[in-house]
Structure 1
Amino acid sequence: MELLRRAQAHFNGLLFFLSYLLPSPSPLPKLRFCISRIAAPDAVNSTSLAVVTDPGLENGVIKRPLKDKANGDTKRLFSGNTSVLNNGVTKRSFTGYGWAAYNFVLMSAYRGGVNSFVALSLSASSKPLHVYAHPSYRCEWVPLNQSENRVLTDGSRILTDWGYGRVYTTVVVNCTFPATVNSKNSGGTLLLHATTGDADRNVTDSIPVLTESPNAVDFDLYDTNRRREKYDTSTAARLSLREPKPAASEGMDRLPREILRERNLISFFTTPEGFKRKCLRVTLHDIRDQERFDGYYHNQFMVVNDCLHRYRFDAKWIFFFDVDEFIGIPPNNTISSVMETLEEYSQFTIEQMPMSSQLCFSGDGAARTYRKWGFEKLAYRDVKKVPRRDRKYAVQPRHVFATGVHMSQNVQGKTYHGTGSLIRYFHYHGSISQRREPCRHLFNGTRIMFDNNPYVLDTTMRDVGLAVKTFEIRTIGDRLIRTRQ
């Protein structure tokens, strides 16, 4: 049986690609469909727990509870895609459904309101499926209490990285039901029925994406009249340690320093009172498993959407950026004043200040320059005129359905772009991708030309270096002083 399963998987993979190369009509679709019927009893890539077309369906409500064919008990389903390791890191896993290029790869799912879920939030799916077929999604709530009715609704598909996706593209599926789901807080499971949409061999995978235990839902969290976010601002940032086989302790030693620098994005550009902020909560997620699926830039769109929906009700504002990017606020503003000024907008974008990752200021002397932090010595900004540079952004997450890397195109409310005088971000592209001295060329002028590109000396980041170092020592001590930059 094991040999049969392997042969089936390889054969289905071959047929998947041939089916788009051969002219239609072709005997391959029918052959592929017949082969796919050979299912092992313990197959992990599909489930037959529910049928979308049900004679008991009336206005989206199924009158009979879902039964296990073996013993008549209601199924209790769990996605099981998250675990916490001994070192405190949250390990994330990805579950594929389908054959060859998966129909659906589930990362996570979250409740989005009293009657809505994001099953999704991300999920990746085969991009050829969305180009050459018409996949559709239906959402089904299966109550734990057998006396309650199951409910079905159509799921809406949002493709957040369309145009960027590779073999896999990020898909956000929104499930909005006509009434409150699990209103008695008695628990249940959300099933996502993902249909491939092929005209001649339509296949549906029924996927358990989220399970709620009895009394687990705090419905007050979704009541706008009782709005109570834990934090004024939150940040979603990616840290990539891509050195060849770095020592485990070496990689982790870098995290406190990177986290402190990013924590100061909220404070060190305001005034000294900014350092009095005490709230700092960091959650580290290990998502390396996503590299098994060929998506755009390490599936970055999937990651930011997971962050959006995971913390949607925890913060009034969420910032999206990478750890080689630092927020800058002019001296006459504070992060609080910026948020108050832009409160009527659901989203605002932040202008990029592109800093060189190899041109360094030598005014301190060569010996001292090499001991400086990166943003102290990488002080030359690219001022070449371009139509538009990349942006980063912040959103009020309750008004956002899905998001992207540089801004959200699925937002309810207004977006503001003219924030240049209020807030900016300094980008040191390529500066953290390798562990070596970044300074390749030293200069002492205020305006220089390098490789036919104009640069100006910009000391905005450099000027706060001492304050950040002082804050680091006061917060975590001097244990990172000898850590290589």
Structure 2
Amino acid sequence: MMKETDQIQIHNHKERKMFIGVVWNCAAELKLLLSALLFLCSLITLFQFFPSSVRDLRGCASFPPPSSAVQFLTTTIIPPPPIEPRQIKKLDDVVLEGGLIKRNFNGYGAAAYNFILMSAYRGGVDTFAVIGLSSKPLHLFSKPTYLCQWVPHNVTENQQNITTPGYKILPDWGYGRVYTVVVVNCTFPFPVGHDGAGGQLLVHASTSGGGDSNFDLTDTIEALTESPGSLNTLQFTATPKYDYLYCGSPLYGNLSPQRVREWMAYHVKFFGEKSHFVIHDAGGVHPEVMDVLKPWIEKGYVTLQDIKEEERFDGYYHNQFLIVNDCLHRYRFMTKWMFFFDVDEFLFVPKKGTIKTVTDSMSQFTQFTIEQRTMSNKLCYLDDTAGKIYRKWGMEKLVYRDIKRGIRRDRKYVIQPRNVFATGVHMSQNIMGKSTHKTEGKIMYYHYHGTISERREPCRQLVNTTNLNVEGTPYVVDTTMREAAGNVKRFELRMIGPVLQRTRQ
């Protein structure tokens, strides 16, 4: 018979074997548990060294605890409260006396905004310009009105709220799409806010029915706010900072950095030291184009504006008319002359003349236009080895000019901005003063249509004759821009160094 002590030893041995077996079978789980405990202890040790702002977790207590561990692991964002639908009383059909059935119509939502404000600027002590977009059908088929109101910060007997009708200008000549451009001129009968007390310009935009005679909705727009002491009335009469300012249309697409490089270097040299370029990025200033603009931005010649937000609103060519009108009123007191043309167009003044001699001779005009010389965007003159041609700038190798007669060629224009109320793309019809188109032989621009929008070698066809006809269009060799290229390259090197030497198409 087994002794009692032997039974106890056997029993203890069995328990130890069982314990070891359990530990062995659960080794992975134990390692995970020990690792978690070690990490937790380490975190607690380090926590005391964190800044007080991090250690204060009381803000977390404001969130209700999740209902379950699964919810905690899967739910990371608290959904917003449901939007209450707009309650509109539905009008049912009604049977009138005599059996006549009166049908009713129920409208929901809106087709387009009444007004989309981009900017507002002072034009003097008593006048303002408000620039924005508005529904094109609203202006085509209705008569929306604008009422301007000046509200001083401190209302006194001498400075009270004053209203005046706003005069609307539609400068895009019907080119708009869903939206059209509207410039509202607010001119009060006497100066407002000129005492430096500050105030606010409100514009009350009324739809005047907007096609629905039962409604005349009015939206109040906070167009401009002036803080006390912020108005400097000397800006309206002071000598402008620049002689020439370029207002660029929206840049969009996969633009060629090399073409932008050529355009910038050429025109900084063309306009001189007292010039400035306002570039508007609607999606075209990708990193390689930014590399080209950056040296000129650092030199103070370029201001770059990100206007990609305007892409939300469907207007003509990335709301081109909106952008140039904003540029006009934003910079109207900063420059003597303002130029409107594109980055595939190069201005040129014949020998013995300069841009200064041209503008001085046009000083009696508020606006003058510039004639176009259309260049082929694919024909290149093979007067050298092909390898050397491909290494040249576009303005050196695209030398075939279209001389077809009897066709209308678009002009670009220049204005003295202080006398302009609203502007366009090819000219302005809202000016005070005279315009002239008689500039032939004085100034022109070479147009390389489409070359800026493609990142590829522009030479598609090499030609070794000075006269040719392609698909019914006659061309002749015009080396005017080629002859200017050498001086432009040396100017770029002197101004910004070799930083752009490796720029690609």
List aligned pairs for 1:365-384, cutoff 5 A.
365-384=385-404
Give the number of the structure whose residues are more often helix, by fraction: 2
Question: Which among 174, 195, 218 is matched to residue 204 of structure 1?
Answer: 218
Provide the C-alpha distance between the structure 1 equivalents of 2:500 and 2:103, rounded to a whole number of angstroms: 64
5+ unaligned residues in a row in structure 1: which ranges? Answer: 12-24, 37-98, 269-278
User: Does residue 194 in structure 1 map to residue 205 in structure 2?
Assistant: yes
SS of the residue corresponding to residue 478 of structure 1 reads helix
AA in 1 matched with 2:455 = R
Aligned match of 1:100: 111
CA 1:333–1:206: 2 relative to 1, 3 Å: same
Question: Which among 166, 172, 179 is matched to residue 183 of structure 2?
Answer: 172
Question: Which among 435, 441, 446 is matched to residue 426 of structure 1?
Answer: 446
CA 1:135–1:26: 2 relative to 1, 3 Å: farther
Deviations 1:371-408 (A, max 9, x none): 11111111111111134210100000011100000000
Deviations 1:243-275 (A, max 9, x none): 2xx9xxx96x9866543233233259xxxxxxx
Aligned match of 1:127: 136
CA RMSD of aligned residues (A): 2.5
Q: 1:100, CA displacement in angstroms?
A: 3.4
Question: Which among 308, 316, 320 is matched to residue 288 of structure 1?
Answer: 308
SS of the residue corresponding to residue 336 of structure 1 reads helix
* CA contact 1:265–1:326 (8 Å) conserved in 2: no
Provide the C-alpha distance between the structure 2 equivalents of 1:356 and 1:257, rounded to a whole number of angstroms: 17
List aligned pairs for 1:78-89, cutoff 5 A.
none
Provide the C-alpha distance between the structure 1 equivalents of 2:461 and 2:163, rounded to a whole number of angstroms: 63
Aligned match of 1:27: 104
* CA contact 1:240–1:433 (8 Å) conserved in 2: no
Aligned match of 1:413: 433
- TM-score by structure 2 length? 0.72
5+ unaligned residues in a row in structure 2: which ranges? Answer: 1-79, 89-101, 274-298
Deviations 1:421-472 (A, max 9, x none): 1100111110011101111111122211111111111111111111111111
SS of the residue corresponding to residue 309 of structure 1 reads helix
Q: 1:127, CA displacement in angstroms?
A: 0.3
Provide the C-alpha distance between the structure 2 equivalents of 1:235 and 1:254, rounded to a whole number of angstroms: 17
Q: 1:361, CA displacement in angstroms?
A: 1.4
AA in 1 matched with 2:481 = M
CA 1:234–1:455: 2 relative to 1, 3 Å: same
* CA contact 1:231–1:316 (8 Å) conserved in 2: yes
CA 1:358–1:26: 2 relative to 1, 3 Å: farther
CA 1:239–1:116: 2 relative to 1, 3 Å: closer
SS of the residue corresponding to residue 421 of structure 1 reads coil
How high is the sequence identity, in percent, across the aligned residues?
Answer: 51
Aligned match of 2:271: 266
SS of the residue corresponding to residue 249 of structure 2 reads coil
Provide the C-alpha distance between the structure 2 equivalents of 1:368 and 1:435, rounded to a whole number of angstroms: 19
* CA contact 2:115–2:135 (8 Å) conserved in 1: yes
Larger radius of gyration: 2
Question: Which among 231, 234, 237 is matched to residue 220 of structure 1?
Answer: 234
* CA contact 1:160–1:301 (8 Å) conserved in 2: yes
AA in 2 matched with 1:185 = G
* CA contact 2:362–2:368 (8 Å) conserved in 1: yes
Provide the C-alpha distance between the structure 1 equivalents of 2:338 and 2:316, rounded to a whole number of angstroms: 22
Aligned match of 1:114: 125
AA in 2 matched with 1:357 = N
* CA contact 1:162–1:169 (8 Å) conserved in 2: no
CA 1:415–1:254: 2 relative to 1, 3 Å: closer
Aligned match of 2:168: 157
Question: Which among 326, 332, 347 is matched to residue 312 of structure 1?
Answer: 332
Deviations 1:214-245 (A, max 9, x none): 1111112224xxx41111211112362512xx
CA 1:191–1:394: 2 relative to 1, 3 Å: same
SS of the residue corresponding to residue 233 of structure 1 reads strand
Tell me whether 157-166 or 346-355 shows the greater mean CA deviation.
Answer: 157-166
Aligned match of 1:66: none
* CA contact 1:170–1:301 (8 Å) conserved in 2: yes
Provide the C-alpha distance between the structure 1 equivalents of 2:270 and 2:177, rounded to a whole number of angstroms: 33
Provide the C-alpha distance between the structure 2 equivalents of 1:2 and 1:254, rounded to a whole number of angstroms: 51
* CA contact 1:267–1:335 (8 Å) conserved in 2: no
Number of aligned residues:
385
Question: Which among 171, 176, 195 is matched to residue 184 of structure 1?
Answer: 195
Question: Which among 146, 157, 160 is matched to residue 155 of structure 2?
Answer: 146
CA 1:434–1:2: 2 relative to 1, 3 Å: farther
AA in 2 matched with 1:342 = M
SS of the residue corresponding to residue 150 of structure 2 reads strand
Provide the C-alpha distance between the structure 2 equivalents of 1:475 and 1:125, rounded to a whole number of angstroms: 44
Q: 1:8, CA displacement in angstroms?
A: 4.7
* CA contact 2:366–2:433 (8 Å) conserved in 1: yes
CA 1:477–1:102: 2 relative to 1, 3 Å: same
User: Does residue 399 in structure 1 map to residue 404 in structure 2?
Assistant: no
CA 1:2–1:306: 2 relative to 1, 3 Å: farther
Provide the C-alpha distance between the structure 1 equivalents of 2:457 and 2:468, rounded to a whole number of angstroms: 21
Provide the C-alpha distance between the structure 2 equivalents of 1:233 and 1:386, rounded to a whole number of angstroms: 33
Provide the C-alpha distance between the structure 2 equivalents of 1:125 and 1:478, rounded to a whole number of angstroms: 47
Provide the C-alpha distance between the structure 2 equivalents of 1:2 and 1:152, rounded to a whole number of angstroms: 41
Aligned match of 2:351: 331
AA in 1 matched with 2:115 = F
Question: Which among 466, 471, 477 is matched to residue 497 of structure 2?
Answer: 477
Provide the C-alpha distance between the structure 2 equivalents of 1:258 and 1:329, rounded to a whole number of angstroms: 16
